């Protein structure tokens, strides 16, 4: 009976997956739709579908826009590869706008002219962008988020919350088992905590790390100091050196009162508080000697997009005051534009949490070096072998 069942199940699955493979081909043929590809979580694609696209109707009532979920970064890279392959031919790459992508993820794409240069398009967009968030002329940072420390305010008084790396280290050692961060590859909150340790070990100078200056030798020179710092923390972490497997799990442990403090994404923690997962009085604090890193999601538009003009219109609309203000109120994120370009009332309300600068850490080859280095040097722990 079981073997029949599983065979039938296999056939059903096989035909379903075959249909799923065939589906995008039918649906995404050149049909006048502007294809927006996202690799972000469902809260972001919901934000596009329910907030940005209805609002875009007022700018361009005739435009038909479709938000496609590429799954993750690897999915977006595959789409960018397709656009790259189509470059210089008549083929339609069937993608008009990437919701969160950086040009460096596709090798040689900038030199090949795959991406629209926003400095030359004449649309009023790049000038509004927060200078601290700008990376290249080929991407438009439109929403940001930063990692903070969240703590249980019933156990830590606001004035005792750590404000520097050293205070935080002292706090962790004074409260063993009460701090956890997640594995750096499983979510940005732990990932940027690890990157903050790298900054700490290298003179707190984010300028020392750029996309271009990665080399195995330079990594071998700069990273071991951070592993030492993190290994020093490990015995005082939760369970003497356990690491949660994602942003959500860290928040869950904080919510269950298992740990007292954990690094969190600003947008995620604000949503968790709004949804009642974390109590109203959850404390949030940022290190003042050098903030934990943040990141911006960047819009890119391929030059060979079939609907490039509409895509550029859409990009400009996303950077408008209307959408940027909603990124604060509805997403709990930071705007990609300078704060002069958001609603004045919001500007005042969030005056205290507006970061003057958001340190960032380059991706590219650094990601692999940092993540694998952490797994090999920090995760096994000194005592746990």
Q: Which residues bind other proteins (CB under 8 A)?
A: 2, 14, 74, 183, 185, 238-239, 242-246, 249, 252-253, 256-258, 367-368, 371-372, 375-376, 379-381
Alpha-carbon torsion, ordered 31, 36, 42, 46, to 10 deg:
-80
SS3 290: coil
Helix axes 365-377, 216-233, angle to 10 degrees: 40
Q: 61 or 276, CB closer to other proteins?
A: 276
Radius of gyration (C-alpha) of the chain in whole angstroms:
22
Q: 183 or 298, CB closer to other proteins?
A: 183
Residue 54 C-beta: closest distance to other proteins, Å? 32
Give the CA distances from residue 363 to residues 12, 54, 100, 122, 191, in Å, rounded to whole numbers and listed in that order: 41, 33, 13, 29, 11
Q: 2 or 58, CB closer to other proteins?
A: 2
User: Would you list the DSSP string of 87-149?
Assistant: TTSS---S--EESS--GGGSTTHHHHT-B--TTTS--TTGGGB-GGG---TT-EEEEEEEEEE
- CA-based angle 43:304:67, to the nearest 5? 20
Residue 239 C-beta: closest distance to other proteins, Å? 6
Residue 371 C-beta: closest distance to other proteins, Å? 5
Residue 183 C-beta: closest distance to other proteins, Å? 5
Sort residue 381 into left (φ over 0), alpha (ψ -120 to 50) or beta. Answer: left
Residue 280 C-beta: closest distance to other proteins, Å? 20
Q: 353 or 368, CB closer to other proteins?
A: 368
CA nearest to 156, candidates 288, 260, 281: 260
Sort residue 141 into left (φ over 0), alpha (ψ -120 to 50) or beta. Answer: beta
**Count of CB atoms within 10 A of residue 231's CB?**
16
Q: 240 or 344, CB closer to other proteins?
A: 240
Q: 14 or 29, CB closer to other proteins?
A: 14
Residue 161 C-beta: closest distance to other proteins, Å? 22
Q: 230 or 306, CB closer to other proteins?
A: 230
Residue 304 C-beta: closest distance to other proteins, Å? 26
Residue 186 C-beta: closest distance to other proteins, Å? 8
**Count of CB atoms within 10 A of residue 109's CB?**
20
Q: 87 or 258, CB closer to other proteins?
A: 258
Angstrom distance (rounded) from CA 251 to CA 257: 10
């Amino acid at each position: 009976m079981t073997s029949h069942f599983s065979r039938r199940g296999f056939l059903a699955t096989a035909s379903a997956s075959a249909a799923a493979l065939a589906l995008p081909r039918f649906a995404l043929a050149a049909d006048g739709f502007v294809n927006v590809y996202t690799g972000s979580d469902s809260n972001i694609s919901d934000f596009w579908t329910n907030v940005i696209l209805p609002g875009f109707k007022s700018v361009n009532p005739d435009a038909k826009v479709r938000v496609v979920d590429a799954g993750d970064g690897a999915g977006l890279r595959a789409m960018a590869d397709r656009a790259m392959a189509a470059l210089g031919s008549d083929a339609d790459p069937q993608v008009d706008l990437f919701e969160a992508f950086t040009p460096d993820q596709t090798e040689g794409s900038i030199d090949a002219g795959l991406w629209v240069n926003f400095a030359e398009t004449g649309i009023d967009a790049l000038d509004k962008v927060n200078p601290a968030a700008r990376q290249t002329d080929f991407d438009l940072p439109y929403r940001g988020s930063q990692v903070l420390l969240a703590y249980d305010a019933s156990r830590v008084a606001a004035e005792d919350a750590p404000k520097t790396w050293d205070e935080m280290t002292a706090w962790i050692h004074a409260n063993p088992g009460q701090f956890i961060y997640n594995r750096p590859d499983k979510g940005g909150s732990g990932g940027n905590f690890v990157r903050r340790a790298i900054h700490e070990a290298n003179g707190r100078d984010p300028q020392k790390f750029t996309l271009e200056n990665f080399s195995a030798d330079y990594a071998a020179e700069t990273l071991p100091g951070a592993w030492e710092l993190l290994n020093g923390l490990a015995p005082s972490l939760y369970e003497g050196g356990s690491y949660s497997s994602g942003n959500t799990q860290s928040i869950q442990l904080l919510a269950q009162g298992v740990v007292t403090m954990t690094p969190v994404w600003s947008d995620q923690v604000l949503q968790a508080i709004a949804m009642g997962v974390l109590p109203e009085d959850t404390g949030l604090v940022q290190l003042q000697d050098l903030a934990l890193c943040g990141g911006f999601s960047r819009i890119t538009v391929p030059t060979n997009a079939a609907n490039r003009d509409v895509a550029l219109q859409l990009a400009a609309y996303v950077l408008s005051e209307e959408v940027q203000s909603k990124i604060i109120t509805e997403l709990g994120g930071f705007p990609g534009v300078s704060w002069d370009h958001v609603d004045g009332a919001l500007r005042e309300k969030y005056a205290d949490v507006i970061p003057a600068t958001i340190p960032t850490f380059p991706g590219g080859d650094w990601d692999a070096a940092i993540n694998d280095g952490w797994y090999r040097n920090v995760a096994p722990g000194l005592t746990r072998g």
